[in-house]
Structure 1
């Protein structure tokens, strides 16, 4: 979702006019595309299963953001879904109608979002980064925009000090309030936290508040960036055997 501008992996922004020189003490991560396989890969599998094409999906999504309607209304169906203001079944019905129109195949509304995200697979290497951060005593949080989809939360109490899901708190990225809410749960000021997301606009919004932003493109790039920022080794040979520590 890049706007074409050059953007470094890490963007440090000032807070109250002065950047903090102290090592950050908190790690905040996105879920889809960071702790999972990339969204594009999941959607590719869904396209094939439904018999639709990427161009039709893009047209269907764009239909929710008609410029003329946006000028007349503050209602954004996708934003409303992510904040939990729009019922999932209503969004699925609207999206299914648009997909059927633009892709030329019948798309069933019931369970549509679940089918869309069924191809997400966990990203063990990135999950291990969070685990090692926790072992090292860093505060950790998950910050995710949800489309009403299910999350596998089995180990979240071991990985995170705070979990913020957009639809559960009535806020969404890139709105400033959701970042500030997450910081408050961690007990951190903005420059004390690092935020990792695969969408550039979400990283920019965090950086504008003074949070250290890392635009996740690959594990190889992100691990180098995080280890430099925290001055820690965040890799382990046996991540499942590592005990969880920290405060």
Structure 2
């Protein structure tokens, strides 16, 4: 029986990261092809290979809170180019990248319904030194785990174990919802059920099937 839901923030409880990035690329006149090449390599280095013990990168450090946002902004800006062939403005870069995030109300309503049925919930999010809109979180979460605040990051097994400890539940009694396959694989390796989020309707239907409870208005 599933008694706990672990869930990501950006791209799951919000609109997709790719949509937000697309808006920022246009607004800041970023060279899209160059950005894609740079970011693909950073993400590959951060998520490929063993979850623990792999080569450390600036993304590892940022997500664990070992590198502050302004330092990462300077590093990333130096790697990127605008359409004018110069680096973008570093200050405020991360805020501009994530400015396009919008709440997905159906997913927030789903979490309220989950808790209404007595299922415990935990936010489990990798942070990029970004602020979170925390109003109403008491209605949504029994526990909150943000990577930069706990010094751990997905897909490290220890951050999942930390979240499970906060919920006082074993892995096999929980489901993890995330939009990134590497994180889902790490959770499943610990016995946690995984739902790879692509859109609200599909995710909610899959969670209803797993929990055997209705999560949408009749």
TM over 0.5: yes
Secondary structure at 1:195's aligned position in 2? strand
Q: 2:124 aligns with which of 135, 139, 143?
A: 143
Secondary structure at 1:27's aligned position in 2? strand
* Structure 1 portions without partners, runs of 5+: 1-22, 68-72, 238-247
Secondary structure at 1:86's aligned position in 2? coil
- CA shift digits 1:51-98 (9 cap, x unpaired): 01332112333565798xxxxx93310011000001211110011111
Aligned residue in 1 for 2:5: 27
Aligned residue in 1 for 2:67: 86
Q: Partners of 1:210 and 1:111 in 2: how far apart? A: 39
Q: 2:154 aligns with which of 173, 176, 179?
A: 173
Name which of structure 1's ranges 147-156 and 98-107 shifts more when overlaid on structure 2. Answer: 98-107
Secondary structure at 1:100's aligned position in 2? coil
RMSD: 2.0
Secondary structure at 2:80's aligned position in 1? helix
Aligned residue in 2 for 1:42: 20
Which fold has the larger relative contact order, with Cα–Cα distance below 8 Å and residues 6 or more apart in sequence? Answer: 1
| Bigger Cα Rg | 1
Secondary structure at 1:43's aligned position in 2? helix
- CA shift digits 1:206-230 (9 cap, x unpaired): 0010000000011121111100110
Question: How many residue pairs align between the two structures?
Answer: 211
Runs of 4 or more off by more than 4 Å in structure 1?
62-67
Aligned residue in 1 for 2:37: 59
Q: Compared with structure 1, are the counterparts of its residues 66 and 137 closer, same or farther at alpha carbon in structure 2 (3 Å cutoff)?
A: closer
Q: Partners of 1:110 and 1:203 in 2: how far apart? A: 33
TM-score by length of 1: 0.81
Q: Compared with structure 1, are the counterparts of its residues 64 and 226 closer, same or farther at alpha carbon in structure 2 (3 Å cutoff)?
A: closer
